[in-house]
Structure 1
Amino acid sequence: MSKQLIETEEQFDQLTNQDGTFVFFKHSLTCPISQAAFQEFEAFASAHEDVPTYFLQIQNTRELSSYVTEKSGVKHESPQALVFSGGKVKWHASHSSITREALEHNV
């Protein structure tokens, strides 16, 4: 399963209404730190195709980004990775704390 772009609140709600575990990434298209973290997210996704991975592009979906913050209860940062399990956040990180290894350890 490859990473999938999420663009609506409805799509996000469908994800959080499932029982499984997935990784969600908030990506800023203009930030070099976000680009580096996104590469780590992509490396994780490529190595773990059994784990669903999703992302949003903050500049294109600001309302969705705010909605994810509201629903997750985790203060917005960018870049940001959130691991959901059973609809709840079980781990999150931002900036240079987002690494393939950190994702592997926390999924």
Structure 2
Amino acid sequence: MNKIETIEQFEQLLTREPRVFFLKHSLTCPISAHAYREMDRFLREHPREKGYFLAVQESRELSNYIARKFGIQHESPQAFLFINQRPVWYDSHYQITADTLAKI
């Protein structure tokens, strides 16, 4: 997964990629570490999919921006699937699994 740190990078990503998975990841939360591993496993098993993440502690401005822009309450960990610049799916915590992501 590639790390995104700024609002500008995030907006460029959405413009550039028609379909992208995105994870809000906490560097200190064991549940978030589990979600990160699950998303990483999913992306390795599905190499055509694109995946990016932000570290909440390092990119709080971007995390809050995503919540405001899309009207989705912030949670961490929180995974999204964006298609054509819009979130078509999102979930959090233990619902973020490789199997769940593969079904979307």
> Into which bin does the TM-score normalised by the smaller protein fall?
over 0.9
Q: Unaligned regions of 5+ residues in structure 1, if any?
A: none
Residues matched between the structures, number? 104
Answer yes or no: is the 8 Å Cα contact 1:4–1:53 preserved in 2.
yes
Q: Secondary structure at the match of 2:90?
A: strand
C-alpha RMSD over aligned residues = 1.0
Residue matched to 1:29: 27
Q: Which residue of 2 aligns with 1:98?
A: 96
Match of 1:17, SS? Answer: helix
CA shift for structure 1 position 103 = 0.7
2:27 partner letter:
L
Among the aligned pairs, what percent are the same residue?
44
Please give the TM-score of this superposition, normalised by the length of structure 2: 0.95
Is the Cα–Cα contact under 8 Å of residues 26 and 81 in structure 1 kept in the other structure? yes
Per the alignment, residue 37 of structure 2 pairs with 39
Q: More displaced, 74-83 or 10-19? A: 10-19
- Residue 11 of structure 1 aligns with an amino acid whose one-letter code is Q
